[in-house]
Amino acid sequence: MCGITGVYAFNMVGRISMINVANATASLAKRGPDFQDIYNDQTVALGHRRLSIIDTSDNGNQPMFDSSGRYGIIFNGEIYNYAALRQELISQGVAFRSKTDTEVLLQLYIREGKSCLDKLNGFFSFAIYDRDERSLFIARDRIGIKPLYYMQDGDRLLFASEIKSLLAYGIDKTIDYSSLYTYLQLNYIPAPGTIFQKVKKLLPGHYIEIQPEQINVDSYYTIPYDRDNYTRAPYEEQCKKLESLLEEAVQKRLVADVPLGSFLSGGIDSSVIATLAKRHKPDLHTFSIGYRDEKFFDETDYARSVAKKIGSEHTVFSLTNRDLYEKVGDILEYMDEPFADSSAIAVYILSEETRKHATVALSGDGADELFAGYNKHAAFRKIIEGGGATHAVRLFQPLWSILPKSRNNALTNKFRQLHRFGKGMKLSSTERYWQWAGYANENEATRLLSQPSREALDYEHYDQLKKQLLHHIPAKESINDLLYTDTQLVLADDMLTKVDRMSMANSLEVRVPFLDHELVEYAFQLSDNSKINGEIRKRILQDTFRNVLPTELYNRPKKGFEVPILKWFREEMSWMIKNDLLADEFIKDQGIFDVKETRQLKRKLFSSNPGDVHARIWGLIVFQSWWKKTIG
């Protein structure tokens, strides 16, 4: 795992940016603490920060050039099938100078060009420079596990693993109000947009080809999906194939020349990954965090039960509310774009503590999006099937509106879910998906913006992006349609962004076996019924591993990887909310938000019926913190 950045200059003006490549590279230090180097000529500047995982010798340092000096690479990620590809290249007469997957990728590209992408199994963003042709090729992995940002104008193209690296080049920091509008609804910004008008995210499965007179951005991969063509294999055979594919994916991800462990939250997903990893790594070390002051959020008993069952060495990081709160400043400081999934706090701390014991960790991310693990999936299923329970929720909607709602305990959280479900039932399939994906609807987001911000918002651009994101959801819903959209939106732009940023902030590489592209493709060959059946979510995953996991995992309510931020807001962070980031005077002077609306949100936060307002408040806190350090 590493950090990459670079400049392609189209003229003398563009070359001026090259003087900043050292600072741009240094800004990625946490992504790669082991080594830094840069390369530049009259056309290109390349910077690399290395986190040594495979072949930790100096032979793996980058930028790396082939023996002819013509081709050079900077690479962030891992190629899991590099050993097989290496043997294939050796049989063709290639002589290697290192044992790295980086050199394998470079040599494969030299021989096969962009077609090499079809052979890669892994996660990556990389750039390869051809000095003779003065061409640059940049690519991102199929699913979007590793990030890549870029900015282009008539003088240059800049790219980097993180936006903070682009900022080091002195880019235009004009806010994209369409992105801000979306952020106020979802708490993150979907690709290809970013908070800046001029900066874009390279979409998963895409590449950029740059020639002296031409730039081409194109797709090389989309997840194959045919909603009318599912596997007809018996269910038992489906389970066997899933286990085989997942075990193979885990086994591939155990290769490392540094200590490797596994996250273990106590949920099904991470438990399955840890169980399979233990089969092939007898000395597996597992890690989890618990909340000493908030038992409703604590799942460490389940994690200990799994660790005992599989025989892993297990470490629990038990935290108080004060421990969590003291990390908020570090997390806000690391954010170079507004991103307000509050579970990022837990991932940050888990990564920080795990890094004291390991350099690589396996994670269970991706299973919910592939196999229908969220509450919203069960809710969609109920709407599709209809029936008495659905009718009752609709009938009692006025009651859900007045009952106390929050995430602080099981009862009020259930009221919150029923209220959210009832409101969504009235909407079209696409609008229902959009509302359940976020925390505010369009009207609420509009009211939160000041009049000048509304006037700066390009509603047509926003509508086009939303339509593009939701085009897989037809009027007649299926669960797989929702899951396919989840992989493009929630997975790529929320979950994977969260894991990458928070793990890389602590120089920890996180690998996600569920997102092996062969497993992802198989998941979309399975029918809705294989994934969700009545109240059973992730049915095939649960059934496949039922005999190897503790029974108590199957009788517990699903919880996200959450932190108790509502209590913080009312206690430790109340001063910050009232007198700093959301203070009326700051809101007025800044001019982005409507002060009457922010006052209303603060009143609701400190009321007896906060609902989901904590998520909106956290979104504002993250944005305000980002704005003060980046714009203000």
Percent of the chain scoring above 90 in pLDDT: 77
Q: What is the pTM of this model?
A: 0.94
Measured CA to CA, the distance from residue 52 to residue 61 in angstroms comes to: 9
Give the chain's mean pLDDT. Answer: 92
- Per-residue pLDDT tens for 451-488? 999 999 999 999 999 999 998 887 667 899 999 999 99
Residue 298 pLDDT: 75
Q: Is the pLDDT of residue 390 over 70?
A: no
Asked: is 2-219 a CATH 3.60.20.10 domain? The reply is yes
Active site residue 239: no
pLDDT confidence tier of residue 608, bands split at 50, 70 and 90: confident
The SS3 call for residue 557 is coil
Mean pLDDT, to the nearest integer, of 42-63?
Answer: 93
Q: Is the pLDDT of residue 120 over 70?
A: yes
pLDDT confidence tier of residue 416, bands split at 50, 70 and 90: low
Mean pLDDT, to the nearest integer, of 350-379?
Answer: 95
Mean pLDDT, to the nearest integer, of 156-164?
Answer: 98
Catalytic hit among 1, 2, 108, 362: 2
- Per-residue pLDDT tens for 423-445? 666 778 888 899 889 999 999 99
Q: Token pair for residue 472? A: 């897989």
List, in sequence order, every residue forming a beta bridge with 48; answer none if it has no partner: 4, 37
More confident residue, 413 or 221: 221
CATH topology of domain 235-370+484-555: Rossmann fold (3.40.50)
* Residue spans in the chain of domains classed CATH 3.60.20.10: 2-219
What strands lie across the sheet with 360-362, from one edge to the other? 313-319, 285-291, 260-263, 360-362, 509-511
Q: Token pair for residue 381? A: 């299923």
Residue 423 pLDDT: 64
More confident residue, 594 or 535: 594
The SS3 call for residue 192 is coil
pLDDT confidence tier of residue 401, bands split at 50, 70 and 90: low
- Per-residue pLDDT tens for 501-554? 999 999 999 999 999 999 999 999 999 999 998 778 999 999 999 998 888 888
Residue 551 pLDDT: 85
Under 8 Å CB-to-CB from 601, ≥6 apart: which residues? 448, 613, 616, 617, 620
Q: Is the pLDDT of residue 607 over 80?
A: yes
Q: Is the pLDDT of residue 389 over 80?
A: no
